[in-house]
Amino acid sequence: MPFDPRWELDWSRPDYSRRLLREHLDQSHDGATRRTAVVDEQVRRLRRLLPEPPSRVLDAACGPGLYAVRLAAAGYDVTGVDVGPAALRHARSLARARAVRGRVRFQRGDLRTLEPPKRPYDAGIVIYYVLEAFPRAEQPRVLRRLARSLRPGGVLVVEMRLQPDQPPGRIAWWDVVPRSVLGDRRHLLIGDSTYVPHRRSFVLREIAVFDDGSVAAQQTSAWLCPFERIQPLFRRGGLAVTAMYDGWTRRRASALSESVLVIARREP
C-alpha cells in the first residue's frame, strides 16, 4: 500500500514552499508550473473561456501568480489564493514588477477551508492538477467551496489529469543531486512512483539521504477521476459541467484524454 498520509507534502511549510518555488520558476521543465511561453499561450486560451474583463476572477491555488498577474494585465480583477508563503511572496513581487498591483491581490488561504467572499467572483480557475491532489472524498467538498465563492452562473475552469504519466505499477530510481524539494545541499535522492490503475491513485515518494546521515522524505499523491465520473463529481460540488476539452486544445475531451480542461457553471 504505497499511500501513507504521514509523508504527504505540506505545501504550506516555508522550507518546502521556498524549494518548490525554485522548481516552479525553473525554465528547464514544466514539472511544477509551466514555462513562461506555455503560460502565455494558456492565458490566451483562458481569456476565451472566461467572461470579459474587468470581471472578477479567483485563481485558486495560484502558486507564484503567473496566471493571475497575466490575467490582471489583460484587465481582469484577480484574487490569488494559495497556502505557500514563498509562492505568494513571488506572486506579489511579480504584480509589482508588471505594475498591476491595483488589479490583483494575493491571500494566504487553504482551498479546504475557503470561505465565500463578501462579493462573489464571476469566475474561478484551478490550474495544473490541483483538485486531484486532494483525497477523493475531499474533492467534492473543495469544489463546493469554490462554487460558493462564485456568483450563480459564474464559470469555473479546472485543469485535471486523467492519466498518470507512467504505466501501471512501480518505477524506482536514484540519483545524487545538488538540491531538490527535500534539501538545499547535495544528497542522494531515491525516488519511487506507483500507479495503481484499479484505484486510479498515483503516489510519488522521494527520500533524501544527506552526508551527515540525516534523512528527509516526501510523498505527492493524486487521486485521478475517471472521465465518466467528472460530471457527477462537479454536480456534487454544486457545479454543472458545460464543456470538457482535451487538455488545452479546442478538441472535445474523451476517456482517452490525458488531461482535461473542465468548464463548469455554478448552479443557481
Ligand X SMILES: C[S@@+](CC[C@H](N)C(=O)[O-])C[C@H]1O[C@@H](n2cnc3c(N)ncnc32)[C@H](O)[C@@H]1O
Site string for ligand X, 19-48 (x = CB under 6 A): -------------xx---------------
Sign of the Cα pseudo-torsion (155, 249, 75, 73, in order): positive
Question: Considering the complex, what minimum distance in angstroms separates the CB of residue 73 from ligand X?
Answer: 16
Q: Which of 61, 123, 160, 222 binds ligand X (CB under 6 A)?
A: 61
Q: Which of 50, 58, 66, 189 binds ligand X (CB under 6 A)?
A: 66
Q: Determine, following the binding rule CB under 6 A, whether residue 130 of this chain makes contact with ligand X.
A: yes
The stretch among 62-70, 146-154, 167-175, 229-237 that binds ligand X (CB under 6 A) is: 62-70
Phi-psi region of 153 (alpha: psi -120 to 50; beta: other; left: phi over 0): left
Give the residue at shortest CB distance from ligand X: 63
Q: Determine, following the binding rule CB under 6 A, whether residue 127 of this chain makes contact with ligand X.
A: yes
Site string for ligand X, 75-114 (x = CB under 6 A): -------xxx--x----------------------xxx--
- For 216, counting Cβ atoms within 10 Å of its Cβ (0-12 exposed, 13-18 middle, 19+ buried), the class is middle
The residue among 16 and 195 lying less far from ligand X, judged by its C-beta, is 16
The residue among 65 and 183 lying less far from ligand X, judged by its C-beta, is 65
Question: Considering the complex, what minimum distance in angstroms separates the CB of residue 163 from ligand X?
Answer: 17
Q: Which of 57, 58, 63, 221 binds ligand X (CB under 6 A)?
A: 63
Q: Determine, following the binding rule CB under 6 A, whether residue 11 of this chain makes contact with ligand X.
A: yes
The residue among 107 and 242 lying less far from ligand X, judged by its C-beta, is 107
Question: Residues interacting with ligand X, by CB under 6 A?
Answer: 11, 32-33, 61-63, 66, 82-84, 87, 110-112, 127-128, 130
